[in-house]
Structure 1
């Protein structure tokens, strides 16, 4: 395939991929979306697909789906050549595709509905408020709080905090394939009381009953049921494996255990599965079941490449980022935190690259030593961004 761009050295190595598993650690600005799109186009143009096969690209968010589709089409003079030769899906979209073909096998009606996140949040909050009306959380509040402050926390902060806790509990349970019933059995066997787990179970059970009453599933259920279907229907799994002989996974650092298991089953033990991500940039880890260590382990256990070149930042910023990586890996005071970051270190792009690094300006880097509360930090970021935008007020857009 003749490329319409000159790939960077690491990108060129990745485009030589032909088969098997490949893990790719890509730094911010390495061009991973661009190179995955090019790899998908190359697989298609090289004739490695039968007429009824597609390259499956799995990405994180819906906006990335459109981005991939647009980029892949640019590699073809005639868009009809690529028609039905690739499929771009978020994990939720892929799970829906899988379950939709055989809903009865996982206990769903033929026309099952999917609960959107807004309505799911409303149901969950109702359950939390009902629980709070009959239970006390005073033992978890700071005893130093005066009466008025304590009352304010209970009215204003506690419901939202418990809702966040319930959401994390439900998602984590579903990622581990734990139903309310199986969770109840585990709690009954616990030798010690687990009040927070009991709270989580109570909300989870109420939430699932509400979904069942509506004949609906949520997005996490879709993923769980898709995995169940693949694990229990060997013929269906083989058929999907044939349909998608190449799987390209974007943003793999935000993959969960369930997502990894689904893609592993689809690709098969010796299948063609390329995983690309930045192990140091798990932006969804805080509020989803994402586990960056899954990508790190995959890279360590399989053939792998690094994409270290980035033209996004000036050299001094790259040096500061690399220094942080080195410090965390070797000198962090908590030994368990030393695996939080990993190589590759970021390097500038080579001469002639269309996205050259900005000129070096060490004085533009400012370290803020103020210890902010979350609210103060948010306010400081907003003010900083506003000041930056205002500085370009007279510039044409």
Structure 2
């Protein structure tokens, strides 16, 4: 089962003598380590599937992890294995323990569009920038485990005081609707475990081994949640890379990697430094750039994939010139090497940058698809249907009631 792992990966997958931090550089096989460790716990160490939890940040990553474990175990019983996002785990905890926090099990979960409407009403404003800043501020407060009272106490200017007052009213509104937002799915389990030791003990007895992916992206609240779940036993493996920490803008703290050492004196650190994805030239350039970063842990990626092609940097005059140059180079390369259009990909930083590339691709009759787009659950018709379902399970959900009663249009609106 572990034969396909290199020596360092195998060491990380089998280490169970205490808390473990796996420093996994880009392309070093971190998901392989996590999935093989789950299989190792089940097959070799006698753990039950229902007593293992693996936490990651996206549904896509969770699904991939679940599929890989299934492939490794070849159809053996993995019923009860918890492979989920932080938010999904938090939701399961709250559903099971809702009564301890004064919620009913069928509480609603408000997305950003639901909370946008609440903030719009509380501020009596339609200013998108103002509401977006308010949403971000309150989200950051929750991620940092700052209550409305503490936010007000720490407010050092009039704007922050206004936001803190709205924060208080926002929480009261959510409670009246028997609803939580996405930040509450992580914030409230921490509140629960700190206030109700019996609930914490139940979940510590339930989760005997904890694996956490992308640890460098955790915020203060997520750090506290995993620390509470691991308890004094500290049977966990955290996988992360300080050089891939890119979410500080939404509350992620790279210090959480450093804090592991402060909280666990017996922490073992294993570094995955062999890259299976890139050529030596790419890694040399990446290492040179990354050396300018503030380091929590030192490591250096290497590869046996050969030197690789020369890296070219092109400074274009403007967006149109950049797009034209990229498409011309793509077409020339395709002609020279007799490849297929499906062999190429164009990466750009933000969705709005696709326009110039799409225009050039269309002009040259190059077939293409754009990856991403509007989420299925963000479509208006899907939100309409879900509003009826939310109202069925939670009669206190006023935003769902308003959407249901006004869609399709029935002549009902503001007086």
Deviations 1:133-169 (A, max 9, x none): xxxxxxxxxxxxxxxxxxxxxxxxxx34333321221
CA apart distance, 1:43? 0.5
The normalised TM-score by structure 2 is 0.72
**Candidates 170, 175, 179, aligned match of 2:138:** 170
- Work out the CA distance in 2 between the residues paired with 1:74 and 1:319: 34
Query: Against the structure 1 CA distance between its residues 114 and 70, is the aligned structure 2 distance closer, same or farther, given a 3 Å change threshold?
Result: same
Matching of residue 361 in structure 1 with residue 284 in structure 2:
no
Query: Against the structure 1 CA distance between its residues 16 and 108, is the aligned structure 2 distance closer, same or farther, given a 3 Å change threshold?
Result: same
The normalised TM-score by structure 1 is 0.75
Question: What is the count of residue pairs matched by the alignment?
Answer: 336
Matching of residue 31 in structure 1 with residue 26 in structure 2:
no
Q: 8 Å contact 1:38–1:72 — kept in the other structure?
A: yes
Deviations 1:210-233 (A, max 9, x none): 323322111212222101111222
What is aligned with 1:272? 235
What is aligned with 2:252? 290
SS at match of 2:53: strand
Query: Against the structure 1 CA distance between its residues 122 and 359, is the aligned structure 2 distance closer, same or farther, given a 3 Å change threshold?
Result: farther
Q: Which runs of 4+ in 1 moved over 3 A?
A: 125-128, 367-372, 376-395
Query: Against the structure 1 CA distance between its residues 365 and 316, is the aligned structure 2 distance closer, same or farther, given a 3 Å change threshold?
Result: farther
What is aligned with 1:7? 5
Q: 8 Å contact 2:99–2:105 — kept in the other structure?
A: yes
Q: 8 Å contact 1:24–1:306 — kept in the other structure?
A: yes
Matches within 5 A, 1:164-313: 164-187=132-155, 194-286=157-249, 288-298=250-260, 302-313=267-278
Query: Against the structure 1 CA distance between its residues 57 and 377, is the aligned structure 2 distance closer, same or farther, given a 3 Å change threshold?
Result: closer
Matches within 5 A, 1:74-153: 74-80=71-77, 82-84=78-80, 86-128=81-123, 130=124
Query: Against the structure 1 CA distance between its residues 232 and 212, is the aligned structure 2 distance closer, same or farther, given a 3 Å change threshold?
Result: closer
- Work out the CA distance in 1 between the residues paired with 2:240 and 2:300: 14
What is aligned with 2:405? none
What is aligned with 1:19? 17
Matching of residue 344 in structure 1 with residue 299 in structure 2:
yes
CA apart distance, 1:317? 1.6
- Work out the CA distance in 2 between the residues paired with 1:321 and 1:381: 24
**Candidates 68, 71, 83, aligned match of 2:68:** 71
CA apart distance, 1:387? 10
Q: 8 Å contact 1:53–1:242 — kept in the other structure?
A: no
- Work out the CA distance in 1 between the residues paired with 2:115 and 2:92: 21
Task: Identify the structure with bigger relative contact order (alpha carbons < 8 Å, sequence gap 6+).
Answer: 1
Provide the alpha-carbon RMSD of the alignment.
3.2
Q: 8 Å contact 1:23–1:299 — kept in the other structure?
A: no
Structure 1 gap segments, 5+ residues each: 133-158, 188-192, 330-337, 351-356
Query: Against the structure 1 CA distance between its residues 83 and 60, is the aligned structure 2 distance closer, same or farther, given a 3 Å change threshold?
Result: same
Q: 8 Å contact 1:279–1:293 — kept in the other structure?
A: no
